[in-house]
Structure 1
Amino acid sequence: MYTVNILNNGEWVAPGTVIYLHAFGRHDPVKIVQNFYLVRGRGHTILIDTGIDNLEDYLTEEQERSFVSVPSRTTEELLRDAGVVLEDVDMLILTHLHFDHYINARLFPNARIIINRREWHYNLSPENKRYAPRVGFPREVFGWLVDEAWERLQLVDGDVEILPGIRVIWTGGHSPGHQMVTVETAQGTVIIPGDEIYMYENLEADIPIGYYYNFENVLAAMDLIRRMDCIVLPAHDPKVLERYPSLKIGDPKEIMIARTLREGY
């Protein structure tokens, strides 16, 4: 069994037409956050996506005034608070190669890096440069991956058990090689859906995301999440912090405390 720590770089903003399918008429800017996840257990320290530093740099002054109430925090700071230094991370699982999910990959000198094979080849192919323009897909990290990190890369296909109790599942909706991650904990299975949903509302109100590569695959991923009936941890929904205020899932001590409070002992 594993524990999952919720890490949050801070508050951000996205166009409504990115978060929600355009036809639903949700066009106003949406307050989002930048969540990523630390998984520990079985002697491993695993990061799912990398977080992004200095979120304010990606906002206009108006967006910062209107949406951001607290300063952002760096990935290194958040890990330090959880008792982890960068060198401790021995595995980095990337749900997909969009910059806010891979930009800090270079921080982790000892991590084996798990990427879906189709995601890797599609993003690194020059013929797809209109899909992955430099402004939104920083090449510096790609260059590092094919050079310094080359021996630590592991490309995977489909549904793969990475470690006992941790799986990646190709979904290919938000991006060509997008993969979700499941983690077995003492509280049940956690599913980290990457960006196949941005918000709980996408799933609960059945509103697909607006930024997608394959719409049918987005719908299939949403249906799969529902069928699995797991603890769902989106990457960009502020409600993750509200629903799981301890910021930790699967800790036996916290489970016992919650059970005691629930049973009135």
Structure 2
Amino acid sequence: MTDSARSTHTTITRLRVGDLQAGDQRLPINVHVLDHQDARILVDTGLTQLHPAVADMDPRIQPLNELPGFDPDSIDIVVNTHLHFDHVGGNHLFPGRPIYVQRAEYIEAHAGEYTILDWVDAPGATYTLVDGELELLPGIRLIRAPGHSAGSQIVVVETGHRPSVLCGDSAVFYGELDQPATEAQHLIRSLDPSEVWLSHQDAPWRPAVPARG
């Protein structure tokens, strides 16, 4: 299943790659493709296989490499918003292509039982470590956004008006952006976005009233 929105220079396309159990509800797992005039970017890579370490969440997967119309070879750049298992399970599909992640996140992931390291350190995975903010391409920025994890980052897509934001798990539910509580959520709202694409919701969040601060 896909949805898309067009900014001035970049098209954002949502790809649903599965779902998982979180408490008493099932949440979708979404990744996003950014078609920029200079490159095709994939934000997070979902799951491509099951693992006993997360069997309790009963993941049901639709691997990226099996989605009709999606060609992994078309991707030039990968961004991981963070390194939890449901965001890195397809990293192995992109050997040799740069995978952008915050340095703090990469260090934390390798410091303990944080994720499935075999998926992070997949053969051919080539990481570019980011410290804070980075202009990835003209009109596309990566910004560190602590909250869900210490090294989480968001992707900000400039539209010529109000930006679009891809937030990973900095917010899992819409209400977390309606009433921000974490540093990341306050940061997102301070950007006054027109829309925020969440990994575990099928439609972007949009503010009822634009807010700053």
The TM tier, using the shorter chain, reads: 0.7 to 0.9
* Cα contact 2:167–2:198 (8 A) shared by 1: yes
Is residue 227 of structure 1 aligned with residue 186 of structure 2? no
Normalized per residue, the structure richer in strand is 2
* Cα contact 1:33–1:237 (8 A) shared by 2: yes
Secondary structure of residue in 2 paired with 1:33:
strand
**Aligned positions of 1:114-263 closer than 5 A:** 114-125=100-111, 129=112, 131-132=113-114, 137-144=115-122, 148-149=124-125, 152-185=126-159, 188-204=162-178, 206=179, 208=181, 219-230=182-193, 231-240=195-204
Matched residues in 1 for 2:51 and 2:78: separation? 25
Aligned residues: 196
* Cα contact 1:167–1:183 (8 A) shared by 2: yes
* Cα contact 2:105–2:152 (8 A) shared by 1: yes
Matched residues in 2 for 1:92 and 1:107: separation? 10
Matched residues in 1 for 2:132 and 2:180: separation? 25
Residues 76 and 185 (structure 1 numbering): CA distance in 2 closer, same or farther, change over 3 Å?
farther
Matched residues in 2 for 1:41 and 1:155: separation? 21
- 1:99-130 Cα deviation digits (max 9, x unpaired): 111111001134211010111122213xxx2x
Structure 2 residue ranges without an equivalent (≥5): 1-8, 207-213
1:222 aligned partner, one-letter code: Q
* Superposition RMSD in Å: 2.8
Higher relative contact order (CA 8 A, sep 6+): 1
Q: Counterpart in 2 of 1:31?
A: 26
Is residue 73 of structure 1 aligned with residue 59 of structure 2? no
- 1:3 pairs with 11, 31, 49, which one? 11
Matched residues in 2 for 1:157 and 1:56: separation? 31
Matched residues in 2 for 1:4 and 1:55: separation? 27
TM-fit CA distance, 1:238: 3.7
* Cα contact 1:158–1:169 (8 A) shared by 2: yes
- 1:16-49 Cα deviation digits (max 9, x unpaired): xxxxxxxxxxxxx233110110011223111000
Matched residues in 2 for 1:142 and 1:12: separation? 20
TM-fit CA distance, 1:223: 1.5
- 1:95 pairs with 74, 78, 81, which one? 81
TM-fit CA distance, 1:202: 1.7
2:35 aligned partner, one-letter code: R
1:91 aligned partner, one-letter code: I
* Cα contact 1:88–1:110 (8 A) shared by 2: no
Q: Counterpart in 1 of 2:21?
A: 13
* Cα contact 2:82–2:168 (8 A) shared by 1: yes
Identical residues among aligned pairs (%): 31
Residues 88 and 6 (structure 1 numbering): CA distance in 2 closer, same or farther, change over 3 Å?
same
Residues 9 and 142 (structure 1 numbering): CA distance in 2 closer, same or farther, change over 3 Å?
closer
TM-fit CA distance, 1:53: 3.2
Compare CA radii of gyration and give the structure with the larger one: 1
Normalized per residue, the structure richer in helix is 1
2:177 aligned partner, one-letter code: L
